[in-house]
Amino acid sequence: MKTFILILLGTAFLLPAHAQDAVIRAGTVIDTRDGSTSSDQKITVRDGRIESIEEWTGEMNNGVIDLSDSFVMPGLFDAHSHMALVVDPRKDGGNYFFTGILNTTAYRAVQGVANARNMLLSGFTTIRDIGNSGNYADVALKQGIDEGLVPGPHMETSGRIIAPFGGQFHLQPEKRGIANPEYFFADGVDEIRKAVRENLHFGATFIKLVIDDQRYIYSVEEIRAAVEEAERAGTYVAAHCWTEQGARNAIAAGVRSIEHGLAMPDDVLRAAKDAGVFLVGTEFTVAGLGWQTGVDISALEEEHNQFVDRLRRAYAMGVKIVYGSDTVFLDPDMSRAHLSLDVLNSWREAGVSNADQLKAMTVTAAALMGVSGDRGLLAAGFKADIVAMKSNPLEDTNALYDIDFVMKDGRVVRHPGTH
């Protein structure tokens, strides 16, 4: 694994400066809308977009990218990521409250560069960074990627998370501001409207609210104020909900997505479905929860089982489910992308088909993020975000660990021939 990570780091410096016109011979092209496939296809890329996909004709030559022995699909999405948050139990005891105190925003932006590069080279061509980035490290990272200064996926960013006083932490009266700028405390409609506007001013492309991590939670009226402000600016609200009432309030207020949504009985899931709300469930495995210190393994197993049960019910009900990993902890033996893919073990346990796992990681995620006419599908006119692997992910999505070709916006950023 360590050798694999070094290879990824090395290929990062092979990025060309501009999009390339290219012809790809694809052995099997996967349509992630329905899991259908087409064999021996010719994908023509021009000016960073897919110009056409058709049956292969012509001759193989040095100008053709040969993926004739590969399964080819759109680049992956992670709709709940934290590029500028690295919880290192060796330094902060596994408590991200301490992480934010110990690490400056500048250092976290540097960590974000490394994480974003790794995510891209592993096949994630689009991510939604959903906060915990200090003082806008996520926005700085997005700017660096967009300007071509550093390699990384296409990013949507939430900036500072807006939350009731305290955010997700318990503060001391003498140090009541210590959770800033990690969170933007806003209580009441007027404060929330101002917080949304300030966040958008400083570069957030969508808004994240923490609804319910205190004894007091945001009301429907307060959440709706954020939704209205975001919509006036052409964007939306993602709602972190851990309690049943928090999810009820968020759905009633018109949020675009529920993040986590651990406590959602069937009637709440039906309400989400009826309202067209996306569920980004971050279904942690037991190992994925294991970075928490001082928590008994049986409690972690119980929480994991709750996530799996909620996903199983949401999937059966037809709720719009989207893949999001919420990976934040450091494992010296595994890359950020490898840890992110661990969440799919919970999806398998919940009975989500391989085809629907891929759909949740591409076209449904693109719809959530508002880029469904541009990314998340291999079709003429779409951005050329393309990944390939030797094994068939429709048979086993563990194949995604072995993606060995990545193109983003028409630029080859990883190719088997480079290592």
Task: Name the strand (E) or helix (H) holding 239.
Answer: strand 237-241
25/45 Cα distance (integer angstroms)? 11
User: Does pTM surpass 0.85?
Assistant: yes
CATH homologous superfamily for the domain 2-75+376-418: Urease, subunit C, domain 1 (2.30.40.10)
Query: How many CA atoms does the CB half-sphere of 331 hold within 13 Å?
Result: 20
> Domain ranges in the chain?
2-75+376-418, 76-369
Q: What is the DSSP string of 316-378?
A: HHT-EEE------B--TTS-HHHHHHTTHHHHHHTT--HHHHHHHTTHHHHHHHT-TTTSSS-
Give domain 76-369's CATH number out of 1.20.1440.230, 3.40.50.300, 3.40.640.10, 3.20.20.140: 3.20.20.140
Q: Please list the rounded mean pLDDT of every run of 10 residues in the chain (419 residues).
A: 39 51 97 98 97 92 92 98 91 80 93 98 98 96 98 98 92 85 95 98 98 96 98 98 98 98 98 98 90 75 96 98 95 92 97 98 98 96 98 98 98 76
- Calculate the alpha carbon distances from 76 to 3, 110, 399 in Å: 23, 23, 13
Q: Which of 405, 365, 402, 388 is nearest to 77 (CA)?
A: 365
45/58 Cα distance (integer angstroms)? 16
292/97 Cα distance (integer angstroms)? 12
